[in-house]
Amino acid sequence: MPQARTAAKKPAAVYRRILLKLSGEALLGDRQFGIERDFLDYLAGEIRDVQSLGVEIAAVVGGGNIFRGVSDSARGMDRVSADHMGMLATVINGLALQDALERAGVITRVLSAIEMREVAEPFIRRRAIRHLEKGRVTIFAAGTGNPYFSTDTAAALRAMEIKAEVILKATKVDGIYDKDPKRHPDAVRFGSITYMDVLKKGLKVMDSTAISLCKDNGLPIIVYDLKKKGNLRRVVLGEKVGTLVKE
Whether residue 4 lies inside any domain: the answer is no
Whether residue 124 lies inside any domain: the answer is yes
pLDDT in tens, the chain (247 residues): 555 555 567 788 999 999 999 988 888 877 778 898 999 999 999 999 999 999 999 999 999 888 876 666 677 889 899 999 999 999 999 999 999 999 999 999 999 999 999 999 999 999 999 999 999 999 999 999 999 999 999 999 999 999 999 999 999 889 999 888 888 889 999 999 999 999 999 898 899 999 999 999 999 999 999 999 999 999 999 999 999 999 8
Q: Return the CATH number at 69.
A: 3.40.1160.10
For 219, the domain range is: 17-246
Residues in contact with 96: Cβ distance below 8 Å, sequence separation at least 6, in sequence order: 27, 35, 40
What is the tally of structural domains in the chain? 1
Q: What is the Cα–Cα distance from 152 to 19, expressed in whole angstroms? A: 11
Whether residue 87 lies inside any domain: the answer is yes
Whether residue 104 lies inside any domain: the answer is yes
Residue 77: count of CB within 10 angstroms of its CB: 13
Evaluate whether 194 touches 180 at the Cβ level (below 8 Å). Answer: no
Whether residue 74 lies inside any domain: the answer is yes
Q: What is the Cα–Cα distance from 182 to 184, expressed in whole angstroms? A: 6
**DSSP strand pairing (243-246 vs 221-225):** antiparallel
DSSP readout, 201-245? Answer: HT-SSS-HHHHHHHHHHT--EEEEETTSTTHHHHHHTT---SEEE
Whether residue 202 lies inside any domain: the answer is yes
Whether residue 10 lies inside any domain: the answer is no
Whether residue 50 lies inside any domain: the answer is yes
